[in-house]
Each structure stands twice: as structure tokens, then as C-alpha cells.
Amino acid sequence: MAAGEPLLSRLDELRLQRELKEVLLEHVRAIYGPRNPQNHGFDITTHQYRPRKSARESVVVRAIVYTEPNYGKWKLLKQGNDTSYTITAAYQEFSKDLEREMTEACGHMSEGDVFDGSLRIGYYAEDLLEM
């Protein structure tokens, strides 16, 4: 790779973003699917904005659920923080948030247990070591 050449081509970056988005959707469906049984699909959206007193735009990631057929209405399920400057970085941070939420949701589950959508807030990886 020549000096100054980007680490990923634009096409590679878009492929990575698509793969990350699919991972995010898997987590969102697992966590929020039981809480939204009448859903019409989940999606991950992004938008960019310029925070006050900032020279750079930030990227915000949101998980939504469509509440009507044909995408007529949707509900915001989760919003990431706004400290990322690229979509890829924002997806990676949002993934970490969802992974923590998965730990809270099923940290004390055993094989065969059924997740009904209720979170067990307050359980973290350290708690799993004590099991």
C-alpha cells in the first residue's frame, strides 16, 4: 500500500458498513423483537449533523421498528451517542452498546431458557464470572 493511500477503498468501506449493519440488526431483533411482537421489520438508520461549536459533523445511529405495514409508521428503539465522525465508527460503537444490552438481557440465562423481552438491568460481565 502506497503512503497516503486509504486503508479501505470506498467500496470496501461500504461492504464493511453493510456487514456491520447486519450484525446490528441481528442484535436489535434479538433484544427488541420479543418486546415488539406486532412489528413490520426493524431497521438501522444514520444521520449526520454538526454539533454546536464543532468543526466536524457527527454521525448518530438509531434502531427503529416499523409499526405499520409498508413502513407507514416507525418507533425509535435506541439511539447511539454522537461522538463518531464516520458511519463505520458509529456502527462499531453502537454494536458495543447492543452487546452490553445483550449481556444485560441474557447474562444469567441457561441453555433452554426463553427470553421474553424483559431486561435484567445491572448484570454485567463480572456477574457472569461469579455464576
CA distances from 19 to 24, 40, 86, 98, 118 (A): 9, 22, 15, 15, 28
User: Quick one: average pLDDT of 45-60?
Assistant: 88
Q: What is the average pLDDT value for the chain, to the nearest integer?
A: 86
Q: What is the pLDDT of residue 95?
A: 97
CA dihedral 56, 62, 66, 70 (to 10 degrees): 30
**pLDDT reading at 127 higher than 60:** no
The DSSP H or E segment spanning 61 is strand 58-66
Confidence of residue 2 (pLDDT cuts 50, 70, 90): low
Report the percentage of the chain scoring pLDDT > 70: 85
Q: What is the pLDDT of residue 98?
A: 96
**pLDDT reading at 4 higher than 90:** no
